Amino acid sequence: MHEKEFGPLLLFVVVSIMGNFMGMQYFTIHIFDIFLQVSILGNVFKAITVNVTILSTLSLLAGAFIFVFNVLSFGTYSSAIYPDDIPEEVCEDLVNCVLIMYNSGTINDSMD
């Protein structure tokens, strides 16, 4: 056995033991071995990890866009959603309002 093979083999044995005694989720680490064995999947994995900064910046921009849209739509359509008064349990804080607007949409039957 070469030195290069010992590290991953030891990792897989430790993860297998953890999977048997601690939880099934540790067996998912074995999937990364597929990335090492199949070159096409390795190239896909490299393409994702090389562009991780661009992808994370894009995700942050999308989250900010959704947040601004939800705040503006709640301010605009709150009178159409709640004709009388906004209930206390619906909008305790801004994050709760945004989550409700994101999950239910701007005007939906579940918000009545």
Neighbours of 102 (CB within 10 A): 14
Q: Which alpha helices (DSSP H) does 22-51 contain, by range?
A: 31-37, 39-50
Per-residue model confidence as pLDDT tens digits over 46-67: 888 888 888 899 999 988 887 8
Task: Evaluate if residue 70 carries a pLDDT over 80.
Answer: no
- Whole-prediction pTM: 0.46
For residue 101, give Cα distances in angstroms to 20, 67, 105: 42, 10, 5
CB burial of residue 101 (10 Å; 0-12, 13-18, 19+): buried
